[in-house]
């Protein structure tokens, strides 16, 4: 997905836009560009990061109080200068920036070429702005009307901003399937993919809904929908502080977010969990909790790390709620014809709340009559607005592409939901319920303690920074953690890594074991501990290099593994919250030692808002 920022007001537009693009670079960063009305409608764009665009702009006349910028994660057309946004229309009197995919761009392009249009790029976006201008010329209408008419014809997802040389006070923004926020300042307006580029200027925002068009013209904001129905702007105050999106002295956002986890887990439980009164209060579920309590089956849909959180939840819900749970990759679920019956409840898990596959899975499940709960971290994002109920994880903005604090916050919310449901179903004893509430309250301090292993983990990372492969193994609640550890490593260090249930090794993967293969075992004291110890023996017998995550004080594992990382003990059903911490740190340090761009790994984006 891409990042878009636009501004009109009393400030120097390029300053606001460049700074805003830097805050959005986590969304995509293979090329960037800016359009300004500085004497003419001028576009400056190139392959590379915002910093490179900034150097490219040195010496240019940037005097303009209106403009827009874009940072790209390529969908149509490789990352290069021509495919970077913004894009001109045929006459170069219009310009557009776009996050999304226009699915019928090929047919539109064919029609436009037949009319004599020529294109400089391979992108669907350039077709989009040519199409808008073609309509404006045929209909002889203002820009905002031309945009609206074009939106009645395009198929696909978009968050766009369009500007015109001939209407120098106007910005036209619209969205469908990709997020767009309008910031309302004093005599100035901002438009962006999320609130992070806006909040240092204003906390007053309007979250555009699908098929809505925001027009700022002559200092006035109006909103209507694609059907031309005028709408009253619903201005909300976003409670995001600037320091939350700064690095706070850490070298990378990812490291900051790893170390924020004691607080983010605390924030996630605040006002919701109180072991002294045995109360769990999840406001967002209130009207629908009964649907979960009476569910015949729970389907969890998610992607990536959020899918791993779903796997942990499967063990937890089945153990305590005695409700069958199925965890599905949203990208698979959405394209097969799943059987969804009355009494099925779907839980969609997403940090960004904008993942296209997860949104599509929600739509499919809704169309088949299921009740949908959303577990999201970004307030006002698309998934919370597409679901019947849900809960925010309150982990704060997660800027690093590799998800860390959002994962542990997702687990906390899922644990709290499952315990509420189990209590209501009478499938958990009061004693066990209380015991788990008390233990959950100790997790922030246990995570704090696990973070103190950072230096030891850095030392281990140095030993394996040149490894070409890794295997991660765990059983039970630690099996999804093995998958998560492997994903963390591969997505930021580019080392191939696989996670398996430890018992699976003998069904093939053990053939991979030799003296070059680092094998990370999550071997904390739990009901499958003895089995994992045997699996460690099997790997050692084949000269595999064992790195073990063990329960503190575990002499046996310490005697067996080449490296042992000892984490605080906790109930096995909550262990993923603690055992994942060293794996986050291990992947971080290996990636830094390999000179990788930890916060913006190659080929990735923070939220995949395209299919």
CA 370/CA 603 separation, integer angstroms: 35
Q: Which is nearer to ligand AGP, 42 or 351 (CB)?
A: 351
* Residue spans of alpha helices (H) in 229-303: 253-259, 261-269, 289-293
Of 483 and 536, the one with the shorter C-beta distance to ligand AGP is 483
Output 64 or 381, the one with its CB closest to ligand AGP: 381
Residue 142: Cβ within 10 Å count: 17
CB atoms near residue 232 (< 10 Å): 8
What CA–CA distance (Å, rounded) separates 305 from 376?
13
Q: Which stretch binds ligand AGP (CB under 6 A): 100-108, 136-144, 298-306, 315-323?
A: 298-306
| 402 counts as binding ligand AGP under rule CB under 6 A | yes
Per CB under 6 A, 304 contacts ligand AGP: yes
CB of 251 to ligand AGP, least distance (A): 18
Smallest distance, ligand AGP to C-beta of residue 551, A: 26
Q: Rounded distance, CA 332 to CA 303, Å?
A: 10
Nearer to ligand AGP, 344 or 357 (CB): 357
356 or 536: CB nearest ligand AGP: 356
Estimate the crossing angle of helix 576-593 against helix 479-493, to 10 degrees: 20
- Identify the CA nearest to 135 among candidates 151, 114, 155, 159: 151
Paired residues of 221 in beta bridges: 216
Three-state secondary structure call for residue 7: strand
Q: Provide the pairing of β-strand 204-207 with 156-164.
A: unpaired
Binding flags for ligand AGP, 443-482, as an x/- string (CB under 6 A): ----------------------------------------
Sheet strand arrangement including 371-376: 325-329, 297-302, 344-350, 371-376, 389-392
Shortest separation between residue 350's beta carbon and ligand AGP, angstroms: 3
Cα angle for residues 319, 484, 609 (degrees, 5° grid): 105
Which of 2, 268, 321, 376 is flagged as catalytic?
2
Q: What residues from 134 to 153 belong to the interface with ligand AGP (CB under 6 A)? A: none
531 burial via Cβ count (<10 Å: 0-12, 13-18, 19+): middle
CA–CA gap between residue 272 and residue 294 (Å, rounded): 22
Which of 43, 356, 453, 608 is the binder for ligand AGP (CB under 6 A)? Answer: 608
Query: Pick from 85, 36, 35, 41: which is nearest to 65 by CA?
Result: 36
- The minimum distance between CB 610 and ligand AGP, in angstroms, equals 11
Question: Binders of ligand AGP: how many residues, by CB under 6 A?
Answer: 15
Question: Nearest distance from residue 413's CB to ligand AGP, in Å?
Answer: 13
Identify which of residues 132 and 461 has a Cβ nearer to ligand AGP in the complex.
461
Collapsing DSSP to helix, strand or coil, 272 comes out as coil
Catalytic option among 22, 45, 488, 606: 606
When binding is defined by CB under 6 A, the residue of 403, 408, 478, 524 that contacts ligand AGP is 403
CB atoms within 10 A of CB 515: 8
Nearest distance in Å: CB 352, ligand AGP:
3
Name which of 234 and 335 has its Cβ closer to ligand AGP. Answer: 335
How do the residues of the chain divide into helix, strand and coil, expressed in percent and rounded to 5?
40, 25, 35
Residue 303 makes contact with ligand AGP by CB under 6 A: yes
Nearest distance from C-beta of residue 601 to ligand AGP, angstroms = 8
d(CA 245, CA 3) in angstroms, rounded, equals: 15
Cα distances from 51 to residues 23, 246, 506, in angstroms, run 12, 17, 49
Give 49-93 as a DSSP string. -HHHHHHHHTTS----SEEEEEEE--SSS-SSTTTSSPEE-TTSS
Binding mask 309-338 for ligand AGP (x = CB under 6 A): ------------------------------
Q: Are the CB atoms for 36 and 14 separated by under 8 Å?
A: yes
Closest to 349 measured CA to CA, from 299, 307, 388, 289: 307
Nearer to ligand AGP, 164 or 381 (CB): 381
Would you say 427 and 322 are in contact if contact means Cβ atoms under 8 Å apart? Answer: yes
Element (H, E) at 350: strand 344-350
509 close to 561: Cβ distance less than 8 angstroms: no
- Least Å distance between CB 302 and ligand AGP? 6
Decide: is 306 part of the binding site for ligand AGP (CB under 6 A). Answer: yes
- Using CB under 6 A, which of 25, 491, 572, 599 touches ligand AGP? 491
Q: How far apart are CA 256 and CA 247, in angstroms?
A: 7
Stretch that binds ligand AGP, among 163-171, 365-373, 395-403, 471-479 (CB under 6 A): 395-403
Closer residue to ligand AGP (CB): 325 or 406: 406
Determine the interface stretch with ligand AGP among 17-25, 244-252, 299-307, 416-424 (rule: CB under 6 A).
299-307
The rounded distance, in Å, linking the Cα atoms of 547 and 371 is 43
Most distant CA pair in the chain, distance: 80
Closest to ligand AGP by CB, 14 or 331: 331
CB 364 → ligand AGP: shortest distance, Å? 16
Options 159-167, 196-204, 303-311, 582-590: segment touching ligand AGP (CB under 6 A)? 303-311
By C-beta, is 493 or 535 nearer to ligand AGP?
493
Annotate each residue in 344-363 with x if it binds ligand AGP (CB under 6 A) or - if it does not, as one string.
------xxx--x--x-----
Known catalytic membership, residue 606: yes
Write down the least CB distance from residue 409 to ligand AGP, Å: 11
Min separation Cβ 577 and ligand AGP, Å:
16
Positions in the binding site for ligand AGP (CB under 6 A)? 303-306, 350-352, 355, 358, 401-403, 491, 607-608
* Residues involved in catalysis: 2, 606
């Amino acid at each position: 997905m891409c990042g878009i920022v636009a501004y009109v007001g009393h400030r120097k537009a390029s300053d606001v836009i460049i700074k805003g693009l830097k805050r959005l670079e986590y969304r995509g960063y293979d090329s960037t560009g800016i359009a300004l009305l500085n004497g003419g409608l001028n576009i400056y764009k190139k392959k590379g990061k915002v910093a490179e665009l900034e150097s490219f702009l040195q010496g240019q006349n940037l005097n303009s109080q209106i403009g827009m910028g874009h940072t790209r994660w390529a969908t149509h057309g490789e990352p290069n200068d021509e495919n970077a946004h913004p894009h001109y229309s045929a006459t170069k009197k219009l310009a557009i920036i776009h996050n999304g995919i226009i699915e019928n761009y090929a047919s539109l392009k064919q029609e436009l070429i037949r009319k004599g249009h020529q294109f400089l790029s391979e992108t669907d976006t350039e077709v989009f702005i040519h199409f808008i201008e073609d309509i404006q010329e045929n209909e002889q209408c203002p820009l905002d009307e031309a945009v609206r008419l074009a939106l009645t014809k395009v198929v696909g997802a978009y968050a766009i901003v369009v500007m015109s040389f001939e209407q120098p006070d106007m910005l036209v923004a619209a969205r469908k399937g990709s997020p767009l926020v309008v910031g309302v300042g004093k005599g100035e307006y901002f438009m962006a993919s999320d609130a992070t580029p806006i909040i240092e200027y204003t906390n007053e925002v309007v979250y555009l809904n699908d098929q809505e068009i925001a027009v700022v013209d002559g200092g006035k904001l109006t909103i209507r929908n694609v059907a031309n129905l005028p709408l009253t702007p619903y201005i909300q105050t976003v409670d995001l502080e600037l320091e939350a999106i700064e690095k706070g002295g850490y070298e990378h956002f990812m490291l900051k977010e790893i170390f924020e986890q004691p607080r983010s887990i605390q924030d996630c439980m605040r006002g919701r969990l109180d072991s002294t009164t045995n109360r769990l209060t999840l406001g967002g579920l209130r009207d629908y909790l009964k649907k979960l309590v009476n569910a015949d089956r729970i389907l969890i849909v998610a992607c990536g790390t959020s899918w791993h959180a779903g796997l942990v939840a499967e063990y937890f819900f089945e153990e305590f709620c005695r409700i069958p749970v199925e965890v599905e990759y949203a990208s698979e679920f959405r394209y097969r014809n799943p059987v969804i019956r009355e009494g099925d409840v779907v839980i969609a898990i997403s940090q960004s709340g904008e993942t296209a596959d997860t949104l599509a899975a929600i739509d499919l499940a809704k169309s088949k009559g299921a009740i949908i709960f959303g577990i999201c971290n970004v307030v006002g994002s698309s998934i919370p607005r597409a679901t019947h109920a849900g809960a925010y994880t309150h982990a704060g903005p997660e800027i690093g592409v590799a998800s860390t604090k959002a994962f542990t916050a997702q687990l906390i919310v899922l644990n709290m939901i499952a315990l509420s449901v189990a209590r209501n179903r009478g499938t958990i004893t009061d004693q066990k319920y209380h015991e788990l509430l008390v233990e959950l309250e100790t997790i922030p301090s246990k995570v704090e303690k696990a973070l103190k292993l950072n230096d030891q983990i850095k030392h281990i990372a140095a030993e394996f920074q040149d490894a070409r492969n890794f295997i991660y193994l765990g059983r039970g609640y630690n099996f999804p953690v093995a998958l998560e550890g492997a994903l963390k490593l591969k997505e930021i260090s580019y080392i191939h890594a696989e996670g398996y249930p430890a018992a699976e090794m003998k069904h093939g993967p053990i053939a991979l074991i030799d003296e070059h293969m680092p094998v990370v075992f999550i071997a904390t004291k739990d009901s499958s501990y003895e089995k994992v110890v045997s699996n460690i023996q099997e790997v050692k017998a084949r000269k595999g290099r064992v790195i073990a995550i063990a329960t503190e004080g575990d002499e046996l594992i310490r005697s067996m593994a080449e490296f042992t990382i000892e984490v605080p003990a906790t109930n096995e059903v909550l262990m993923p919250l603690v055992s994942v911490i060293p794996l986050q740190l291990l992947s971080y340090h290996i990636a830094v030692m390999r000179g990788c761009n930890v916060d913006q790994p190659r080929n990735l984006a923070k939220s995949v808002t395209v299919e």
